[in-house]
Amino acid sequence: MAYVKELDIFRAVSQWIKDNQDKLGPNEKTNILSAIRYQLMDEKELSEVRRSKLVRSDRNILDVIKKSLTQTLNDRGRLEPNVNFAQENLIEVSQIDGGTMIVLDHPVNINYIEMELCSCTYSYYIEVSIAKYSWFRVIDHSNYDSPKYNVASSSMDATVTNGYPHWTIKVVETLPDKIQNAILYDDYKNLLLDRGYTYHDLELGCIEVQLAQPYLLSSMRMLLWDHQKFTYGYTVHVSVNHEDWFLIIDKSNKSCQSWQLLQFEQRLVVYIRVTGVHTSCPDKTFNLKYLEAPAQVSLAFIIKKPWKSIPWLLNRK
């Protein structure tokens, strides 16, 4: 795609037509010249176009130019990866309808927006426009604050980005999504069939989940695979950008089994990283059967006092 001054394009096209005029059909000249965006030319440039030998010799070309000046601008651009179009010297910032509007100095095609929020928590959406009349919502984070439903599920477009599915998962499942994202399905409820677990080798990697968008979380729940009463020590880190990680749970010196109900200070989360530190499993693997966030059980069930046996409870006076 071309990204130069339209006058330069007109000059190049005129020269090409001159060099190939004997090969062109009756309408090909006007078809080619109609692709030029004369609307982007100033009066001085348009004057050069009108005075050119090509235009003066063909009335039809002049008509094409006049018609082009009244038509909608055709989209054309160049590919510029990793370029920040919102640099301070290229933008205008103002307030509109209770929000902030950033005006770039020229139209651009973009597919990625990155911004940094301060330490407060927000709900927001991002809309874009060419002429400030029609707006299109491209990002909608207006409903991510403090979710009550499980956002760490495959149905909510969460994915497992690190970790290995145990071979038993591949035996009972055929869908790639259910194999890769096994810990994001509540199949643990089927006690008649062991659907395996997702694992990572100790000191090699982790189990990592990416949520579909940022969510404010303050709890999680995990089910460790303890088929033979295995115990585990682990840590849980979270991140928004996959670069800055924060430790929210440290059970590296504990011997944990089965369900883990985790509570922590509320924070914005996109990535969840669970790392095994030690295990009694002979394979030296950290094995996770299920993960949900936030926890879908009442946090009041967290036992803070020493456990009392059922007989003790029944016989107390």
Q: Which amino acid is at 176?
A: P
Residue with tokens 């290995």: 164
DSSP character for 185? S
- pLDDT tens for the 317 residues of the chain, in order: 456 788 898 899 889 988 888 888 778 888 888 888 888 788 888 888 888 888 888 778 888 888 877 776 666 666 677 788 877 666 777 777 778 888 887 777 777 887 776 645 567 788 888 767 678 888 877 765 558 789 999 888 899 999 988 877 777 777 877 888 889 988 766 654 566 789 999 988 899 999 988 888 999 999 998 777 889 999 999 999 999 999 999 999 999 998 999 999 988 899 999 999 999 988 899 999 999 999 988 765 444 444 444 444 444 43
State pTM to two decimals: 0.53
Closest by CA to 253, choosing from 278, 225, 283, 228, is 278
Burial class of residue 152 (count of CB atoms within 10 Å of its CB; 0-12, 13-18, 19+): buried
Burial class of residue 275 (count of CB atoms within 10 Å of its CB; 0-12, 13-18, 19+): buried
Q: Which amino acid is at 316?
A: R
Q: Is the peptide bond before 311 cis (omega within 30 degrees of 0)?
A: no
DSSP character for 187? G
User: What gap in Å lies between CA 197 and CA 86, rounded to an integer?
Assistant: 45
SS (H, E, C) 285-316: EEEEEEEECCCCCCHHHCCCCCCCCHHHHHHC
DSSP character for 184? G
User: What gap in Å lies between CA 219 and CA 150, rounded to an integer?
Assistant: 11
Q: How far is CA 183 from CA 36, 173, 186, in A?
A: 55, 13, 8
SS (H, E, C) 45-95: HHHHHHHCHHHHCCHHHHHHHHHHCCCCCCCCCCCCCCCCCCCHHHEEEEE
